Amino acid sequence: MQEQNCVIVGAGLSGLYVARALTRSAAAFCVLEARERAGGRILSRAAAASVLPDARFDLGPAWVWPAFQPLMTELIGQLGLPLFQQATSGDSLYEEAAQPEPLRLSDQSPHAESRRFVGGAGRLIEALCASLPADRLRLGQTVTRVTATDTGVTVHHRDAAGPSILRARRAVLALPPRLLAATVAFDPPLPPALRRRLAATPTWMAAHAKLLALYDRPFWREQGLSGEAFSRRGPLTEIYDASPAEGGPYALFGFYGMPAAARRAIGREGLIARGLAQLERLFGGAAARPIECLLKDWSDSPLTATPEDAIPPPGHPEYGLGDQTRTLWDGRLMLAGTESSARSGGYLEGALEAGREVADLLSDRHA
Ligand SMILES: Cc1cc2nc3c(=O)[nH]c(=O)nc-3n(C[C@H](O)[C@H](O)[C@H](O)COP(=O)(O)OP(=O)(O)OC[C@H]3O[C@@H](n4cnc5c(N)ncnc54)[C@H](O)[C@@H]3O)c2cc1C
């Protein structure tokens, strides 16, 4: 059995940010990640049709807001990652449920302050992973149980070869609270009130599905349109330009407004067909002929969503789990992850806020 100062569970943005802080303090640590990739909800994919290496498309988060997100701004600066402005010039469209023609609006876009990563948000994860010492990140390791011992914790995990355990002084659990409550056992059990709170915390955006339609021309820009559309008719309720910083393939993306169960009943091909029919209705015939479509339904991802996440919360929840969740089991067990941040919970910035709070506590305790 191997021993570590700290085991971080989850190689999403929050877990990797804690790992980066531990790298700087030279503590012995490792990160256990259940997926065969790092990044969690951050996922950028290249298009099969693309010849440009930087043309990658965000199936998870796309936007940062440097004007309001000091930790993201600092990290992006440290890693030297270029950003570009979300394309917003041109008119937007608004579709009412019972209205045959969309309204054309020239109001200022709510995304004037939004910035995107050149090459997709996945660049942030690649840069963070590259900054970790070799062999600290272990992919394909699903944590199933955490046990308190006299001097620390025992972390039970499994991979394709079977179960293993790791001993450490502390464990940082950087995964969505609801998923944690549903899939990881604790010995001794977590207090019932905390368990209920974790289970009741919606995983931000886990209920949603995103369609990206890729084109060889930005035909909407040629019509003086920004690519932004809001629709009460659907199936896509919000649509934006998702083209790379420079060159093509050019892209539009939209969020489906229908519940996860309805999406499942329609199926992948049906969803793509309905999404394209709407894009054609809004932007004309060229929209019906993409060179490729990418679809990601996060409610189908068992390492992000639980069945309870099939119904999205009515608005942005008030996140935060309380200070005690940073110091469970006398500081041997700490929760991170964006939903544990009271300030910017749900957002990328919240993942860093939670990671920073945990990293500061670890450094106070010389983890
Ligand atoms: C479609 C979509 C659009 C979004 N848009 C934006 C946006 O534009 N801007 C923004 O700021 N935010 C956005 N978000 C939210 C943003 O993605 C999250 O705030 C952020 O990525 C959360 O990071 P995290 O590290 O807290 O959690 P996660 O990314 O969920 O990471 C948790 C990690 O834990 C791993 N894991 C789970 N269970 C186990 C286990 N048992 N053992 C080991 N590992 C495990 C998972 O595989 C995952 O890698 C969006 C999210 C989605 C899905």
| Å from CA of 203 to ligand 1 middle | 9
Answer whether residue 310 is part of any domain.
no
Q: Output the pLDDT for position 173.
A: 98
| CB-based contacts of 157, cutoff 8 Å, min separation 6 | 32, 141, 142, 143, 144, 163, 164, 165, 166
- The closest-lying atom of ligand 1 relative to the alpha carbon of residue 69 is 11
| Å from CA of 60 to ligand 1 middle | 8
> Mean pLDDT, the chain, as a whole number?
95
| CB-based contacts of 272, cutoff 8 Å, min separation 6 | 211, 293, 295
Q: Output the pLDDT for position 2.
A: 57
pLDDT at 50 over 70: no
Same domain, 13 and 135: yes
| Å from CA of 91 to ligand 1 middle | 32
The mean pLDDT of 213-237, rounded to a whole number, is 97
Same domain, 330 and 236: no
CA-to-CA dists, residue 231 to 109, 111, 235, 300, angstroms:
15, 17, 8, 24
Q: Output the pLDDT for position 52.
A: 67
Range of the domain at 145: 1-42+121-201+317-367
User: Which residues surround ligand 1 with Cβ inside 6 Å?
Assistant: 9-15, 32-35, 40-42, 60-63, 142-143, 174-176, 179, 183-184, 204-205, 208, 210, 298, 303-304, 337-338, 346-348, 350-351
pLDDT tens figures, 302-329: 999 999 999 999 999 999 999 999 999 9
Last residue of a domain, one of 251, 266, 300: 300
| Å from CA of 304 to ligand 1 middle | 7
- The closest-lying atom of ligand 1 relative to the alpha carbon of residue 304 is 30
Answer whether residue 306 is part of any domain.
no
The mean pLDDT of 20-26, rounded to a whole number, is 89
Positive or negative torsion for Cα 189, 190, 191, 193: negative
pLDDT at 244 over 70: yes
Atom 21, ligand 1: residue with shortest CA distance = 41
Q: What percent of the chain has pLDDT over 70?
A: 97
CATH of the domain at 155: 3.50.50.60
Q: Output the pLDDT for position 184.
A: 98
- The closest-lying atom of ligand 1 relative to the alpha carbon of residue 15 is 25
| Å from CA of 5 to ligand 1 middle | 25
pLDDT tens figures, 81-116: 999 999 999 999 999 998 889 999 998 889 999 999
Answer whether residue 305 is part of any domain.
no
Q: How confident is the model at residue 367 (pLDDT cuts 50, 70, 90)?
A: low
What total number of domains does the chain contain? 2
Same domain, 23 and 133: yes
Same domain, 97 and 245: yes
CATH of the domain at 68: 3.90.660.10
pLDDT at 1 over 90: no
Q: What percent of the chain has pLDDT over 90?
A: 91
pLDDT at 51 over 70: no
pLDDT tens figures, 348-359: 999 999 999 999
Atom 31, ligand 1: residue with shortest CA distance = 12
The mean pLDDT of 193-203, rounded to a whole number, is 97
| Å from CA of 102 to ligand 1 middle | 34
Answer whether residue 307 is part of any domain.
no
pLDDT at 364 over 90: no
pLDDT at 366 over 70: no
